[in-house]
Each structure stands twice: as C-alpha cells, then as structure tokens.
C-alpha cells in the first residue's frame, strides 16, 4: 500500500498556490505516494475534511489563481482567545494514516507547522513558504509576490493618467503589514513620487514638500504608494484567529490630512488648479487572478522540492529560494520574525522620489 502524504494551504490565498499543489501531487504520485488535500487549511485537519488528489485533479491548475483545496486562518495551537486544539489535529492526522504533512503558508501557518514538528507527536512536517507580502524569513522571495506587485503596478500605471488629467494627489494603499516590499517595488515600477513603508519613518511635512515642489515645477499631480502597515496598531480593532489586527484604511486617513493641507496652503497661491486628494485601496485585488509565469514556475519548483524533502525524510524543514536554487532550511529559521526592507533598498528608490 502506498504511503499517504497530506497537503494543506493556510492563511491568505496567493497566486501560485495551485502550482505548488500540482508540483507536490505530480512528484508524489510519480514517486509512488498517495496525496491527500485538506480542505480549508488547518480547519480541514481539525474537521477531518480531506480528499485524495489525482493527476487529473491538478492538470493545468498552475495557471489558475487561488487554491483548489481552499484555505483559512485557523490555528491548532493556543492563541489569544483561541483554545489548544493540537490534540484534535494530531489525532486526525494519525487516523488518516499519514506518513507526512506538507504545509503551505506564511508566518502564522509555518509557525503552527514548526510547533507541530517540535511537539514530536507528528514530526513528519515539511513547509512551503507563501505570502504576497514577501516578508517571510529564510527565503529570498515567496511565490505570489511577483504577481501581486504586477497587479499593483498596473493599477499605478492607470492612476497616472487620471491623476494627471485632473491634477490630483492619488494615495494608493498596498498590502504589507510588517514589511513594505510590495509598496516599495510597486512604487518603483509604477513611478510613484512618494513611497511610505513601515520600515522608514516619515514626516508629513516631507510629503507636503514633495507635493508642493511638483506643483511649482509644473507637474500638477502626485502618486503616493503606501503600505497598509504604516498605520499605527490599534489594539481595539478587530483581529483574526492568530491575533493579527485587521488593517486597511490608512489611505483614507492620509487623504483627509493631505486634502486639509491643500486647502490651507495651496489654493491661494495656485488658483489655476483645483486641488484634490483621492485614495484607492487595492485590497484583495492584489491576491486574485492568474499567477505570472515567474510565480507559476517558482510555485512548481517549490512543490516538487517539498516532495523531495519527504522522500529524504528531512523533517522540520522548509523549501526556500536562495538565489536561483531551492534549498532546505529549518522551519524555526523562518518563523518568529519578519524579513523587512533594508535601508539600502529604500535608498535606491529614494533617488527617484519626487521626480
């Protein structure tokens, strides 16, 4: 009888998830394993909700966004306001007769995988890094990031034309809770005149100075790329199952402040312009749609190599992109912190800000 491998996708969806699933299933079946997909992440483990995946199930799915087995933000170990359900999870995995579990997800999901491995009751765990924010440690890039940046860049390209036509300041809110990778690379690619990220402190007076100078130079509009994570954390706000504050709305706050400044400081000296600030929150548009070629290939390679770690019994590890190669790193190296934008990367972008 073939050994059985489980696979789950946890946390927010990302373009490229299906490519990973396809890589795992094709390599697994061709290596003599059965592959079972848990429905809706860790929730599927707790509810014993799974289905066997065949080669037909994964045919051509690498071209599709989302995940064919669903996802959720469901912890199995105790979190703020949630109970310890690891006993249920371990019992479910053992009842199904799994040889190993491949966990695809970001920091929260890989944190659960690392705890499950160290718990020793089900140590045959392998991780695959996933987050459009690109903030997971121990890997150079995560799949989904490239697609999300491309989507956001296309949005900035379109906003340039309308902002320029109406002489507006456009504030574009881009995902990025702990790190500003998406806002940075989108801003650089999309020609943002101001880029605001969590790693770099900013003064609103500096923002106002850029807007004023562009008007003085005859450039009657400004595009601002802002990461959602620059918003100060408010503990009274709604949180998810892992205790993360739900973000979104910092662009509206900036819009109000900039509009107030425009009325007070710009309307009299420049009566020829109608000064107006507008905001756009891209939100879940950044997660949806078909993955780019880069993410299809990266996701496929990560899935294939995750199965290779199963074959070699390299438990408690995560596949990782390092340069152009896929390597194995310990799960504990990836969790408990974030890969943030270094000063040197922001300094590169700073050369072009305000132009």
Question: What does DSSP say about strands 98-105 and 125-129: parallel, antiparallel, or unpaired?
Answer: parallel
Closest to 27 in 3D by CA, of 312, 326, 306 = 306
Beta strands in the chain, from DSSP E residues, in sequence order: 4-9, 34-38, 50-53, 98-105, 125-129, 168-174, 194-196, 222-227, 276-281, 317-322, 325-330
The whole-angstrom separation of Cα 125 and Cα 309 is: 10
98-122 residues labelled b (16+ CB within 10 A) or e (exposed):
bebbbbbbbbbbbbbbbbbbeeeeb
Tokens 């899935």 correspond to: 303
CB 125 within 8 A of CB 98: no
Question: What does DSSP say about strands 168-174 and 222-227: parallel, antiparallel, or unpaired?
Answer: parallel
CB 335 within 8 A of CB 152: no
Catalytic member of 133, 135, 209, 347: 133
Entry field: residues in the chain: 355
Cα angle 353, 252, 132; round to 5: 65
CB 99 within 8 A of CB 5: yes
Could you give the count of Cα atoms lying within 13 Å of 27 in the half-sphere of its Cβ?
A: 20
Q: Any idea what DSSP says for residue 282? A: -
CB 112 within 8 A of CB 93: no
CB 147 within 8 A of CB 130: no
Residues 6+ positions from 304 with CB-CB distance below 8 Å: 23, 24, 26, 27
Residue 133 appears among annotated catalytic residues: yes
Q: Is 43 helix (H, G, I), strand (E, B) or coil?
A: helix
Catalytic residues: 133
């Amino acid at each position: 009888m073939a050994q059985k491998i489980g696979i789950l996708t946890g946390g927010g969806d990302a373009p490229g998830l299906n490519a990973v699933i396809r890589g795992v299933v094709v390599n697994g079946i061709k290596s003599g394993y059965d592959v079972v997909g848990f429905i809706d992440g860790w929730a599927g483990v707790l509810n014993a909700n799974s289905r066997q995946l065949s080669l037909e199930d994964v045919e051509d799915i690498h071209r599709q966004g989302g995940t064919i087995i669903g996802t959720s933000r469901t912890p199995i170990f105790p979190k703020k306001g949630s109970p310890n359900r690891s006993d249920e999870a371990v019992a479910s995995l053992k009842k199904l007769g799994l040889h190993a579990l491949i966990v695809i997800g970001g920091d929260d999901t890989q944190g659960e995988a690392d705890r499950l491995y160290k718990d020793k009751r089900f140590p045959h765990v392998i991780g695959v890094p996933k987050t459009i924010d690109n903030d997971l440690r121990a890997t150079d890039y995560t799949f989904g990031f490239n697609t999300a940046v491309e989507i956001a860049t296309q949005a900035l390209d379109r906003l340039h034309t309308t902002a320029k036509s109406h002489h507006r300041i456009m504030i574009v809110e881009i995902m990025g809770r702990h790190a500003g990778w998406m806002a940075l690379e989108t801003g650089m690619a999309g020609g943002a005149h101001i880029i605001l990220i969590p790693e770099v402190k900013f003064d609103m007076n500096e923002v106002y100075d850029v807007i004023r100078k562009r008007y003085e130079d005859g450039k009657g509009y400004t595009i601002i790329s802002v990461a959602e994570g620059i918003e100060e954390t408010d503990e009274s706000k709604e949180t998810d199952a892992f205790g993360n504050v739900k973000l979104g709305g910092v662009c509206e706050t900036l819009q109000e402040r900039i509009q107030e400044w425009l009325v007070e400081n710009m309307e009299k000296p420049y009566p020829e312009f109608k000064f107006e600030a507008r905001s756009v929150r891209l939100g879940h548009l950044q997660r949806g749609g078909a993955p780019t070629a880069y993410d299809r290939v990266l996701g496929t390679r990560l899935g294939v190599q995750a199965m290779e770690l199963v074959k070699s019994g390299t438990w408690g590890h995560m596949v990782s992109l390092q340069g152009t190669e896929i390597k194995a790193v310990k799960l504990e190296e990836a969790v408990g912190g974030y890969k943030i934008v270094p000063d040197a990367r922001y300094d590169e972008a700073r050369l072009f800000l305000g132009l």
